[in-house]
Amino acid sequence: MPLKRKSTFSNLLLDPKLLDATTTLFWFRRDLRLEDNVGLYHALKENINVLPVFLFDPHILEKLEDPADARVTFIHDSLSLLRDELKAAGSSLLVLYGKPEEVFGQLSVNAVYTNHDYEPYGRSRDEAVGRLLKAKGILFRSFKDMVVFERSEVMKGDGTPYTIFTPYSRKWKEAFEHSIPRQLSTKSLLSNLKKCKPLPFPSLEELGFSRSALVFPERKIPASIIKAYARQRDIPGIPSTTRLGVHLRFGTVSIRKLVSIARDKSEVWLNELIWREFYHMILWHFPHVVERAFKPAYDRIPWVNNPDEFKRWCEGQTGYPLVDAGMRELNHTGFMHNRVRMVTASFLTKHLLIDWRWGEAYFAGKLLDFDLAANNGGWQWAAGTGCDAAPYFRVFNPQSQADKFDPDMRYIRQWVPELGTPAYPKPMVDHAFARQRALDVYKEALG
Partner DNA sequence: TGAAATGTTGGGGCG
Partner DNA sequence: ACGCCCCAACATTTC
Residues that bind DNA (CB under 7 A): 165, 234, 272, 275, 338-339, 342, 390-391, 393-397, 400-401, 404, 431-432, 435, 439, 443
**Residue 397 beta carbon to DNA: minimum distance, rounded to whole angstroms:** 4
Which is nearer to DNA, 312 or 341 (by Cβ)? 341
356 included as an active-site residue: yes
Which is nearer to DNA, 217 or 386 (by Cβ)? 386
**Residue 400 beta carbon to DNA: minimum distance, rounded to whole angstroms:** 4
Which is nearer to DNA, 31 or 369 (by Cβ)? 369
Judge whether 235 and 406 are in contact, CB under 8 Å: yes
381 included as an active-site residue: no
Which DSSP letter does residue 296 get? G
275 included as an active-site residue: yes
Which is nearer to DNA, 302 or 391 (by Cβ)? 391
Composition of the chain by helix, strand, coil, percent to 5:
50, 5, 45
* Set 275, 313, 381, 415: catalytic member: 275
Give the H/E segment covering residue 308. helix 307-315
Please name which of 404, 433, 399, 445 lies closest in space to residue 419, comparing C-alpha atoms.
399
CA 411 to chain centre: 24
Which is nearer to DNA, 176 or 396 (by Cβ)? 396
Rounded to 10°, the helix 307-315/321-333 angle is 70
- Alpha-carbon distance of 430 to 118, in angstroms, equals 42
Please name which of 263, 296, 274, 288 lies closest in space to residue 164, comparing C-alpha atoms.
274
* b/e map 286-306, b = 16+ CB within 10 Å: eeebeeebbbeebeebebeee
Amino acid type, 379: W
**Residue 28 beta carbon to DNA: minimum distance, rounded to whole angstroms:** 30
Amino acid type, 121: Y
338 included as an active-site residue: yes
- Alpha-carbon distance of 248 to 74, in angstroms, equals 12
Which DSSP letter does residue 19 get? S
| Torsional sign, CA 204, 92, 244, 286 | positive
**Residue 394 beta carbon to DNA: minimum distance, rounded to whole angstroms:** 4
Q: Please list, in sequence order, all residues whose beta carbon lies within 8 angstroms of the beta carbon of residue 131, skipping any fewer than 6 positions away.
A: none
**Residue 259 beta carbon to DNA: minimum distance, rounded to whole angstroms:** 16
Which is nearer to DNA, 145 or 272 (by Cβ)? 272
Which is nearer to DNA, 285 or 437 (by Cβ)? 437
- Alpha-carbon distance of 420 to 228, in angstroms, equals 33
The neighbour count for residue 58, using CB atoms within 10 Å, is 19
* Set 27, 49, 115, 272: catalytic member: 272
* Set 269, 358, 379, 415: catalytic member: 379
Which is nearer to DNA, 19 or 289 (by Cβ)? 289
* Set 356, 358, 381, 415: catalytic member: 356
Instruction: Name beta bridge partners: 24.
Output: 50, 111
CA 406 to chain centre: 26
**Residue 431 beta carbon to DNA: minimum distance, rounded to whole angstroms:** 6
CA 380 to chain centre: 16
Judge whether 367 and 330 are in contact, CB under 8 Å: yes
**Residue 346 beta carbon to DNA: minimum distance, rounded to whole angstroms:** 8
- Alpha-carbon distance of 369 to 364, in angstroms, equals 9
- Alpha-carbon distance of 404 to 51, in angstroms, equals 53
**Residue 443 beta carbon to DNA: minimum distance, rounded to whole angstroms:** 6
Catalytic residue set: 272, 275, 303, 338, 356, 379
